[in-house]
């Protein structure tokens, strides 16, 4: 059981409180509105206060820096940086007088110099609940500095050698303090860069790959789970069997980095949810300690799921385009050959051939507008019959989006029907009309039932021979659409009844 859980359960609460109170270093806790929430015995001894005096009080109401507004503002600014950035803040030197009783029992402000570190304390949700202050009284060091700078004797008898030695000690202390501040600043800047990096970053330590830190991009990748301090097999259990544990083990054992490009990984975004597939570019780099031994692994990468899916979609689109181009060329070739057989005159051949290509082109335009996702049946019919007058063609049926293959075949069929009606059928007579009705039957598979009926035209009789139009209609319906068609040359007017399965185009 982790320390935090033991503390929550009460098993260590008393011991932790005792350890905190027994520390020789002064500590105190502030709420986010800067009111005392707790302090240890060392803090009470330094400030000569009691817990009852401090708990619940605003820190600036208790210690006002002896009226020094600049120092008070410096202290408040440090607290604000912790609350704003969520990171520790260090004040290397703070002149801050505190009220202390003198030998006569009178309270007066006494100059003190402090070095203070303010750290955020978060709850389980990551919200800052307290600010922990750790202070060190460096008044003696500052006094030594002042004496060394002025060369004055503390008692009027400090020798030049004492002054030189004091100055050397002070300079060494100042140098060490400056180095610590510089390193702390560099660490904070590096931490900021990692936390704000657009790619995901994590640091794993030890042979069990325990999460020491991770940035926001990594948190988003794994669904903002609490993983800090957990080994990866516990933090991300869904990775079992996907090879990533083994990659980390190998890097830790050999010291050789491992790189993945577009690697597929299944992650759980929230407890109980199904696994989601993502694709990652990543690298595992070994981290070595001062002795050169492997101490951990640096994980860095990018979520390239959108790029991988886009590339796969593009490949599918290119394959589909190649397929459609071949089909279209085959259709054009068939139209040319069949039209040539039906027309000995080059001019009439050109007119018929061009008209049929235009019909194919019209349906292509409809499909292009929908990015080849389909075309509306009514729109196809309107395209192929509009040249004969919208008032002469009655369209009756529900909206129906056809798959691309079905749309192309029916576009050619409607063009042939409209052309024949204009040459020999109802549309060749001023009073003739065409009635088109369709419906969808929802059986095990949806079925389109469509009737093309011509009325008010000249008398009709069956053709002496089957022309290209009727052959194209029957071939497209039975071969391309896997449906049935019945052509009826009744004396009162030509009619055609179609029955087409609507999922055939998608299967193709």
pLDDT digits (tens, 9 = 90+) for 66-78: 556 777 888 888 8
Select from 405, 395, 329 the least CA-distant residue to 363. Answer: 405
CA–CA gap between residue 396 and residue 378 (Å, rounded): 9
DSSP for 397-464?
----EEPHHHHHHHHHHHHHHHHHHHHTSGGGSTT-EEEEEEEEEESSSEEEEEEEEEESS------S
Local confidence band at 434 (pLDDT 50, 70, 90 cut-offs): very high
Local confidence band at 254 (pLDDT 50, 70, 90 cut-offs): very high
Chain mean pLDDT for the chain: 78
pTM, whole model, 2 decimals?
A: 0.41
For residues 395 and 381, the answer to whether their CB atoms sit within 8 Å is yes
Q: What percent of the chain has pLDDT over 90?
A: 23
For residues 267 and 221, the answer to whether their CB atoms sit within 8 Å is yes
Local confidence band at 299 (pLDDT 50, 70, 90 cut-offs): very high
| Overall residue count recorded for the chain in this entry | 508
Is residue 457 scored above 70 in pLDDT?
yes
CA–CA gap between residue 87 and residue 229 (Å, rounded): 18
Q: How many CA atoms lie within 13 A of 484 on its CB side?
A: 4
Select from 237, 41, 4, 223 the least CA-distant residue to 122. Answer: 4
Token couple for 423: 């040459």
Q: Going by DSSP bridges, is the β-strand pair 433-442/393-396 parallel, antiparallel, or unpaired?
A: parallel
Local confidence band at 303 (pLDDT 50, 70, 90 cut-offs): very high
In Å, what is the CA distance from 471 to each residue of 2, 134, 342, 408, 476?
80, 93, 12, 16, 8
CA–CA gap between residue 176 and residue 183 (Å, rounded): 11
Per-residue pLDDT tens over the stretch 5-24: 444 444 445 555 666 777 77
């Amino acid at each position: 059981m982790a320390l935090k859980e033991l503390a929550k359960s009460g098993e260590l609460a008393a011991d932790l409180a005792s350890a905190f109170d027994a520390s020789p270093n002064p500590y105190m806790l502030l709420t986010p509105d800067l009111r005392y929430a707790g302090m240890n015995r060392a803090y009470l001894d330094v400030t000569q206060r009691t817990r009852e005096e401090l708990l619940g009080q605003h820190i600036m109401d208790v210690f006002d820096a002896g009226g020094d507004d600049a120092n008070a503002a410096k202290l408040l600014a440090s607290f604000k940086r912790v609350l704003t950035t969520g990171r520790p803040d260090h004040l290397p030197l703070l002149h801050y007088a505190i009220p202390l009783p003198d030998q006569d029992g009178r309270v007066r402000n006494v100059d003190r110099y402090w070095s203070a570190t303010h750290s955020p304390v978060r709850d389980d949700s990551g919200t800052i609940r307290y600010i922990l202050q750790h202070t060190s009284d460096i008044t003696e060091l500052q006094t030594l500095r002042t004496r060394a700078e002025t060369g004055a004797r503390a008692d009027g008898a400090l020798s030049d050698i004492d002054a030189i030695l004091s100055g050397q000690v002070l300079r060494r202390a100042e140098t060490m303090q400056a180095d610590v501040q510089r390193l702390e600043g560099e660490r904070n800047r590096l931490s900021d860069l990692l936390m704000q990096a657009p790619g995901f970053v994590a640091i794993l330590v030890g042979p069990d790959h325990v999460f020491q830190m991770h940035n926001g991009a990594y948190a988003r990748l794994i669904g903002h789970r609490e993983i800090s301090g957990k080994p990866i097999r516990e933090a991300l259990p869904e990775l079992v069997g996907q090879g990533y544990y083994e990659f980390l083990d190998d890097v830790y054992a050999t010291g050789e980095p491992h790189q993945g490009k577009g690697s597929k990984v299944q992650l759980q975004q929230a407890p109980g949810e199904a696994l989601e597939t993502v694709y990652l570019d990543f690298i595992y780099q070994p981290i070595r300690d001062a002795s050169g031994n492997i101490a951990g692994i640096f994980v860095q990468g990018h979520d390239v799921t959108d790029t991988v899916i886009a590339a796969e979609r593009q490949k599918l689109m290119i394959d589909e385009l190649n397929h459609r181009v071949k089909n279209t060329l085959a259709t054009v070739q068939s139209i040319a050959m069949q039209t040539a057989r039906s027309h000995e005159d080059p001019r009439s051949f050109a007119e018929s051939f061009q008209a049929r290509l235009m019909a194919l082109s019209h349906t292509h335009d409809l499909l292009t507008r929908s990015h080849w996702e389909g075309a509306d049946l009514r729109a196809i019919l309107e395209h192929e019959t509009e040249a004969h007058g919208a008032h002469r063609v009655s369209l009756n049926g529900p909206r129906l989006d056809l798959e691309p293959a079905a749309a192309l075949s029916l576009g050619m069929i409607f063009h042939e029907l409209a052309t024949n009606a204009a040459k020999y059928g109802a549309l060749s007579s001023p009073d003739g009309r065409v009635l088109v009705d369709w419906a969808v039957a929802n059986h095990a598979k949806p079925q389109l039932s469509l009737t093309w009926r011509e009325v008010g035209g000249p008398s009709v009789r069956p053709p002496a021979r089957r022309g290209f139009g009727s052959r194209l209609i029957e071939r497209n319906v039975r071969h391309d659409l896997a449906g049935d068609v019945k052509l009826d040359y009744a004396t009162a007017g030509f009619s055609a009844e179609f029955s087409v399965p609507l999922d055939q185009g998608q299967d193709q």
